[in-house]
Amino acid sequence: MRRPECYGREDAATRIPNPMYASNAGTTPMWQPQSLRSLADAAAKIPNPMYASHEGATRMRQPLPSWRSLANADVKMLNPMYASSSANPPMDQPKTDYQARANDDENTPDATYANIPDDPPMDQPQTDYHANVDENMPDATPASVPDDPPMDQPQTDYQARANDDENKPDGTHASIQDDIRQLSTAVDAFTRDQDDMSATVDALKRGLDNERNRTIALEQRLHQIEKTLTSCPEGYTIWRYICYKAFYTLKNFDDAAATCRVDGGTLAMPRDADTNTFLASLEKSKTHGFWIGLHDRREEGKFEWVDGSALGSYSSWAPGEPNDHNEDEDCAATWEDQVWNDAHCSGLQMNFICQTAPGCP
């Protein structure tokens, strides 16, 4: 009995001269296992000697008509491996013919060639670049070479920037011009100030020269004054800018005073103790006193100096003096220890001391 689910497969099997069935020609198998049929289909594609041996004969003894029928059937039957494919072979189908691939390359636009640019890329090998240049393409190298050599390129860029600066209003350039104007103004002001300062310096120099000349003149005057102040008449000794001289000639008061006037001075007027002490150093006589320029002729008891000035607070009267002895003593003279005494002006002959200013004859 045949299993109903195997009828369809039996029909297909009858169309395929399967060696398994060919050896049992005329005999219909009861049923055939599914796995065995698949093996039979695969075997139909490849003339495997293993199947041929299942016919009960060796490969060498396989009947030729059976082998040929298998080959013919193989040609007509669609290969199960390709049955689900389209008319074109799958992309992963191995190319078995080099020429076929070559034909495909001719008819199909090749992406590799389509992507080749007209100009060779910069990084293209030198051999390809030269091939393009030498054959069909114009040489791009001369066209791209600038008029100036590459070394001048920075200069060209600098010139271009300079031209841009000249053609475009530049805020920085205007600011620099403003700074230059301000600087020029400052320089002019500085120059004027410098001129003023130069004039001031010249004036100061002139003033300094004048002061220097004035100082020289003053120094000369001072030297002259010093010389004059230290210049006393013959025999006179200077004491606090006054010249003094002791005369050892016995004369009355008026004759003594007259001798002092000859030397340009007067009888000595010791107005303080130091000067009085200095005069004592000049008096070398112990036997006679020395007339000095003090008297009370105009008013009794009121002594004054020969120049008309008052006696003042200083005096060196000897004890008990002035006593205006016999009411006739109005002229003063020094005695020992440099004390003063009133004496008769014309009745006595005494030494005297004169004084005069320096520089006087």
Q: What is the DSSP code string of 237-279?
A: EEETTEEEEEEEEEE-HHHHHHHHHHTT-EE----SHHHHHHH
263 is a site residue for Ca ion (CB under 5 A): no
Closest approach of Ca ion to the CB of residue 251, in Å: 19
From 325, 336, 346, 347, residue interacting with Ca ion (rule: CB under 5 A): 325
- Nearest residue to 295 (alpha-carbon basis) of 280, 282, 306, 286: 306
| Residue number, 341 or 356, with CB nearest to Ca ion | 341
- Please identify which residue in the block is written with the tokens 């440099």: 338
Cβ nearer to Ca ion, comparing 334 with 341:
341
Q: Of 269, 354, 258, nearest to 311 (Cα)?
A: 269
Examine residue 323 and tell whether it contacts Ca ion (CB under 5 A).
yes
Under the criterion CB under 5 A, does residue 332 sit at the interface with Ca ion? no
Stretch that binds Ca ion, among 4-12, 116-124, 151-159, 319-327 (CB under 5 A): 319-327
* Least Å from the CB of residue 264 to Ca ion: 29
The residue (of 77 and 318) whose beta carbon lies closer to Ca ion is 318
Token pair in block for residue 132: 């393009």
Least distance from Ca ion to the Cβ atom of residue 304, Å: 12
Residue 328 binds Ca ion (CB under 5 A): no
Give the C-alpha separation, 95 to 300, whole Å. 175
- From candidates 19, 242, 268, 342, binder to Ca ion by CB under 5 A: 342
Q: Does 283 bind Ca ion (CB under 5 A)?
A: no
Q: How many CB atoms lie within 10 A of CB 28?
A: 9
Residue nearest to Ca ion (CB): 324
Residues facing 356 on adjacent strands: 243
Asked if residue 302 binds Ca ion (CB under 5 A), the reply is no
User: Count of residues binding Ca ion (CB under 5 A)?
Assistant: 8
Q: How far is the CB of 361 from Ca ion (least distance, A)?
A: 34
Backbone dihedral angles phi then psi of residue 314, each to the nearest 5 degrees = -90, 140
Alpha helices in the chain (DSSP H): 7-15, 19-22, 34-45, 49-53, 64-76, 80-83, 98-107, 111-114, 126-134, 140-144, 153-167, 171-229, 253-262, 273-282
Q: Give the span between the Cα atoms of 259 and 263, in whole angstroms.
A: 7
Using the minimum distance from each CB to Ca ion, give the nearer residue, 104 or 324. 324
Minimum CB distance to Ca ion smaller for 254 or for 324 = 324
Cβ proximity to Ca ion, 318 vs 357, nearer residue? 318
Site residues for Ca ion per CB under 5 A: 296, 323-325, 329-330, 341-342
